[in-house]
Chain A
Amino acid sequence: MALEQNELDTLIDDVARQMTAGEPAASFTSSVLARLESVERPLRSWRALRSGRPARLWRPALAGLAAAAVVLLAVFIWRGSSRDTSVRRPGPFGPGIEAGAKEPTLQIAAQASPEGPALQTARQAGPKGPALQIANRQIANPIPSDIDALTVPSIAFEQLAHVPLAPLDSLEADPLTIAPLTVPPLDSGDETQRRFE
């Protein structure tokens, strides 16, 4: 059987075609998409984040971060305000006095009138002094309390008697005796030579 050139070319092409014939499996597309879903999700979200495009995947994360920041801010504000109110909270020593109630300056300020010397002293201490702050709080507090109604009994104390000291006797000091120093004469020549030898 002799074949012409064209026939042989056609036969070669036909064999070559059969060597690449066929179709991918019917599940090919779904397999590709499944692999994309399982493997490429992190890459896709990263690429979207990097390119600045809106992505459904990282929006919730951003919202979560914003919510966490708001919560942290609220906690800081609350803690700051709770420090201030801890002084104003009613305590065992009366309204508006708790932390500083044990300080003598506060006691004096609470008992004194607004024009009293304690307040003046506290004002003189400067704006940063604790006495002024506590005294100002006490003055600004208009709520009457039992402490305000209390009268402080005067403290009776005995007069201190000043006893004059008796005149001191004159001190008698023994005269110092200094023994005269005796200095032997130096033998300068021999001594110097001995040191250098």
Chain B
Amino acid sequence: MSIDRVSDADLVARAREGDAAAFGMLVDRHRTAVYRATRAALGSHADAEDAAQDAFLAAYRRLDSFRGAASFKTWLLTIAWNEAINRRRSLTRLWRRQVDAKSDEEGLDLMANVASDGPTPEQAASHEDLRRGIRRAIQALSPKLRDVLLLAQSGEHTYEELGAMLGAPTGTIKWRVSEARRKVKETLREDGFCNVVD
């Protein structure tokens, strides 16, 4: 039987019996989704990877409590999100996150400059200013709005999964995403980006 055809439930059952290889397959399947969830909460790559590893370990410890009411991925993402939030509460980690955010921003700008060879230098500069402004505006959002926006745009989670992770109805999740965008645009206007139209 191909590995892809084995369901998560089967792998969980095997992992419960002590099959480490089965749990390794679960890790392989969901590591990106877990990593992006923790990255959305923590910002830095190092913190996100540590939290993702801790989340998998915690999930392994709690395998007996997985009843199958939700999908394994949703259950796992909930654990990962809680791990990431607990980590974010640490002041030390927050400090590191801010430092890494600055370095990430510089790296992002560098990559954007390399990639954008179409527009003129003036247009590119203006565009990059706008992207930098958007990033700052997203970081300035309240955690509830920022987390949902980042999670929703990570491409790994559906609104239903986000609702289960965050303990909120799907409609609330959608509203928060919309509200986050609105707040970002409002901040951009306040920051003098006059080219943002209503």
Interface size class of B (residues with CB under 8 A): 35 or more
B184 at the binding interface (Cβ < 8 Å): yes
Q: Which stretch from B4-12, B50-58, B67-75, B163-171 is at the chain A interface? A: B50-58
Residues of A within 8 A of B135 (CB): 15, 19
Q: Report the minimal beta-carbon distance from B24 to chain A, rounded to whole angstroms.
A: 5
Report how far A17 CA is from B155 CA in the complex, Å.
Answer: 8
Number of interchain pairs (Cβ within 8 Å): 108
Is A22 in contact with B184, judged by CB distance below 8 angstroms? no
Question: Binding site of A, secondary structure by majority: helix, strand, loop or mixed?
Answer: helix
Q: A11-B131, A19-B135, A24-B49 are in contact. Are A2 and B61 (CB under 8 A)?
A: no
Residue in contact with B64 in the complex, picked from A29, A31, A32, A51, CB distance below 8 Å: A51
Q: Report the minimal beta-carbon distance from A115 to chain B, rounded to whole angstroms.
A: 76
A44 at the binding interface (Cβ < 8 Å): yes
CB nearest to A48 among chain B residues? B18
Residue in contact with B149 in the complex, picked from A16, A18, A31, A43, CB distance below 8 Å: A16
Residues of A within 8 A of B151 (CB): 20
Is A40 in contact with B32, judged by CB distance below 8 angstroms? no
Report how far A33 CA is from B181 CA in the complex, Å.
Answer: 39
Query: Among the interface residues A3, A15, A43, which one has the most CB atoms of the partner chain B within 10 A?
Result: A15
Against A, the Cβ 8 Å flags (1 = close, 0 = not) of B113-132 are 00000000001001100110
Report how far A40 CA is from B181 CA in the complex, Å.
Answer: 43
Q: A1-B123, A1-B127, A32-B27 are in contact. List 12 more A-B contacts (CB 8 A).
A: A3-B196, A12-B134, A12-B185, A15-B131, A18-B108, A19-B104, A21-B36, A22-B45, A22-B48, A24-B32, A37-B20, A55-B18
